[in-house]
Structure 1
Amino acid sequence: METLTDDKWQAIINNDTSYDGQFYYAVKTTGIFCRPSCKSRQPNKENIGLFYTAEQALSAKFRPCKRCKPTGERLPDDEWITLVTEYIDRNYMDNITLDILADISHGSPYHLHRTFKKVRGITPVEYIQQQRIEQAKEQLITTGKAIAEVGSSVGLSNSPYFITLFKKKTGYTPASYRQKQIQKLGEVLENGN
């Protein structure tokens, strides 16, 4: 990998087309690599890796950006959505919007929404909610955290919204879900003895 000089960093943040073909930059947190002229959201400097060629970036397991197409080809939709899904899985507890997902995955919000739904069968927002509710269910069973604390830890800090969404997705309030799971566990232990 190449060293990030001040000139190259300036080329990236200024989307300088004169540097295209001289190097490619990869963003470690997204797994995507771009041309210096890419108009995607400015990455954090510490998350950048540089390559002389697109082939080097590909062999280091980075995927080409859908926006600037550094290999001249588009990333297949299923690979693109896999990147987005992996990002959501790692960051579900953060404030994630469609615009943020589009920025980090180097696409437009409309195209991302449409493609995500085509590939996964649900929208990105539905997937984020699904991940948050699954994590909340796990915490309700395995921890003694207060309901508000569970909601906050999965990215749903508005308690009334968390409770409403949880009930909509599971059929139970968080408190009744926890109580039901404790009862189930008690029955299993009772029947097992």
Structure 2
Amino acid sequence: METMGFEEMWEKIIACDKTYDGLFYTAVKTTKIYCRPSCRSRKPKKENVRFYAHREEAQTAGFRACKRCRPEAERTPHAALIRSVSAFLLREHKQALSLRDISAFAGVSRYHLERLFKQETSETPRSFLEKIRVDKAARLLRTTDRGSLDICYESGFRSPSHFYKAFRRLTACTPSQYRRRSADSGDAAACGTDPAHPPKEVVVRE
């Protein structure tokens, strides 16, 4: 959660973005319930929301788990490992990370990590990281006037060609088209597919 501010996390819960499940939790002060970002329950008023990096923090603060999205449930024996790796990728998305780097952090072999990560999320660690970077870039395009090249490096991409290719694949438009159409329509998904709603959902199971 270190790399996400309140507004960015608010966008994720409004979008019911499963990419960030397990990376932070939403707590509602009026109901005293906490949820996953992807929870489909009725959205609370913004002023009643608090965010926590860990579910234990929400529980200690007096919030109880949502019965609909069950954020307290551990569904597989590998959930904690995948959650830790996902948080690492979010936190270090600006760094040049190889699969070797990621597996070293996880303390398991590259093959074992890739197999477990894909089993849990339907994505490889590298494709998951790429989606985080595109998501970060899309938000910068929507909320700042920074140039595409600057945004490319700020979001963690090492080359403009990789940035443009990945961005177009996940949003169905170029960065400049995304910015223009988003500004014209006020719709982040104006180009077709918003990174918050990827064609193939990334589900980090808890």
TM tier, shorter chain?
0.5 to 0.7
Whole-angstrom distance in 2 between the partners of 1:158 and 1:101: 20
2:158: which partner in 1?
A: 157
Q: Unaligned 5+ residue runs, structure 2?
A: 1-75, 188-206
Secondary structure class of the residue paired with 2:132: helix
Q: Unaligned 5+ residue runs, structure 1?
A: 1-74, 187-193
- Displacement after TM superposition at 1:176 (Å): 0.4
2:187 maps to 1:178: no
Q: How does 1:59-70 map to 2 (within 5 A)?
A: none
2:108: which partner in 1?
A: 107
Whole-angstrom distance in 2 between the partners of 1:76 and 1:106: 16
* Higher normalized contact order (CA 8 Å, seq sep 6+, divided by chain length): 2
Q: TM-score, normalised by structure 1?
A: 0.56
Count of matched residue positions in the alignment of Structure 1 and Structure 2: 112
- Displacement after TM superposition at 1:155 (Å): 1.0
Code of the residue aligned with 1:98 in structure 2: it is L
Q: Which has the larger radius of gyration?
A: 1
Deviations 1:104-159 (A, max 9, x none): 11100000000000011111111001100111000000011110100101111311
8 Å contact 1:89–1:131 — kept in the other structure? yes
Whole-angstrom distance in 2 between the partners of 1:137 and 1:150: 9
Code of the residue aligned with 1:153 in structure 2: it is E
Whole-angstrom distance in 1 between the partners of 2:158 and 2:149: 7
Q: TM-score, normalised by structure 2?
A: 0.52
8 Å contact 1:151–1:159 — kept in the other structure? yes
- Displacement after TM superposition at 1:165 (Å): 1.2
8 Å contact 2:117–2:125 — kept in the other structure? yes
1:59: which partner in 2?
A: none
- Displacement after TM superposition at 1:185 (Å): 2.8
- Displacement after TM superposition at 1:76 (Å): 3.2
8 Å contact 2:94–2:154 — kept in the other structure? yes
1:82: which partner in 2?
A: 83
2:99 maps to 1:98: yes
Secondary structure class of the residue paired with 1:96: coil
Secondary structure class of the residue paired with 1:103: helix
Code of the residue aligned with 1:101 in structure 2: it is I
2:148: which partner in 1?
A: 147
Sequence identity of aligned pairs in percent? 24
1:134: which partner in 2?
A: 135
2:123 maps to 1:116: no
Q: Which has the higher helix share?
A: 1
Whole-angstrom distance in 2 between the partners of 1:93 and 1:85: 14
- Displacement after TM superposition at 1:164 (Å): 1.4
